[in-house]
Structure 1
């Protein structure tokens, strides 16, 4: 039985459903995005909720989902399990190595199984476009080499970056090789000359918690900054970069950007992007 953390009693048996899977999941803002999208698109028979789900839980939860469930957003720690569970995998999800989206291959035939996709890369593309205001990106510094770094590298490659410096506490070059074959990528620890790397970069993309780079903020803040953190915002890195006159963008832009394609894959309806983004930012503002 699905362990749904936030089902509205008024929607106990809606026509169609979607949900976000992860653990912990109570903090997820995905319901704000998707439910506001349903409202704006006039999809009164759709609802979206949160379901507590570990990697081990995912095959059971998705496998037992009734036909009313048309799709799932997937967050950590279940993104790798989602990729492994799927019957079909998109090219970009396979390249990135994880999935944040599961959608029925044929909604009219639930037995057809599930397709895995990764729309995090679309969120990165949207955030980078807002950060650079359409200016080309030829070089970048990526901080971190974990789960979010992978779609960041994919997005930067799609935007034409040819030189990327990856900063991480350990060498993850072998794990990321499939994403960096066509790019001149340098991997180094934080012992390198960070300031020189960021001064030479068009953008800095930080994919790690703020406390992990507290000692390096001064050296990192020499280029426009995309920091995937959105709570709290602004981060120390964003504050320092802004004080140097650089544009900064936070994780809320990425979060909104990754939701649009999910919405469209689940519903088959164009996402009301402006309404979804406005609802997200208004919700976050109301919490402070």
Structure 2
């Protein structure tokens, strides 16, 4: 692993790894989280830290995390383990409990603490898309899965007065409270309805679904600024169409960066070197 020079000779043994973190999910080989965290370790000279990927389903998560050695200080959790992470934890942050899923597990003296930094990711991406702290009134979220939850919670926190969700199945019971608990109205819409008129009247669109789920729908939907949580391949057809229509767009790699900063700080106890982490991610994506 890389880090700042310590003045030792070229033939010196590499530093012993004392602290570890990892990203859990399935499939996991595509995850860019190691690039962000390893860049943070290098920038701060944390040579005894290592960050890896571990293939892990939701069913496997309790057994894996519960039996892992003490060198592991934290886990980033991607799908399909976010609900299992919340249920496994011995302590849960208020926002993870409200959102109903966790993307972060941090070792404590008594077990594991669950948090959800995906909302930090959504907030940071929205700041870059719309302007820092800008209020939004009517928002459109596409999808009703695990990433839609922090998106709804963050938009409501940001002051949205109306949140529309397009989803193929009726998940009103689990999604509506994320909006209405902060005073926003909520409506669930099917793909068979008039999507173009809806998209043309919203302040922002947050797409949380794979690009294939929207194939052929992009001309109907791309009529507002777009945050698309997908970053591979990039740009997505929805983003390309919105940009062609003259709207600003932001990708999932921006959300990924912002959600990683809080994880890094909870795992290591050090302030995240945000610029170095973001630059490493951008370099990787350009390549």
TM (norm. structure 1) is 0.92
- 1:1-288 equivalences under 5 Å are 13-106=16-109, 112-134=110-132, 135-181=134-180, 182-286=183-287
Structure 1 runs not aligned, ≥5 long: 1-5, 107-111
Tell me if the contact between 2:166 and 2:188 (Cα under 8 Å) persists in the aligned partners: yes
Q: Tell me how far apart the structure 2 counterparts of residues 60 and 155 of structure 1 sit (CA, whole Å).
A: 31
In structure 2, what is the Cα distance between the partners aligned to 1:51 and 1:190?
Answer: 36
Deviations along 1:93-121, one digit per CA (max 9) or x if unpaired, are 11111111000123xxxxx1000001111
| Aligned alpha-carbon RMSD (Å) | 1.5
CA distance in 1, matches of 2:214, 2:81: 26
Q: Which whole-Å CA distance do the structure 2 matches of 1:39 and 1:238 have between them?
A: 33
Residue of structure 1 in register with 2:9 after alignment: none
- Structure 1 residue 16: Cα displacement: 0.7
CA distance in 2 between counterparts of 1:51 and 1:146 reads: 22
Match of 1:215, SS state, is coil
Q: For 1:281, what is the secondary structure of its paired residue? A: helix
Runs of 4+ in 1 over 4 A off after TM superposition: 10-13
Does the Cα contact within 8 Å between 2:168 and 2:190 map onto a contact in 1?
yes
Cα deviations by residue, 1:219-251 (Å, 9 ceiling, x for unpaired): 111100111110111111111111111100000
Distance 1:179 1:14, change over 3 A: same
Query: Aligned partners of 1:216, 1:229: CA distance in 2, in Å?
Result: 16
Gaps of 5+ in 2: 2-12
How does the TM-score come out when normalised to structure 2?
0.92
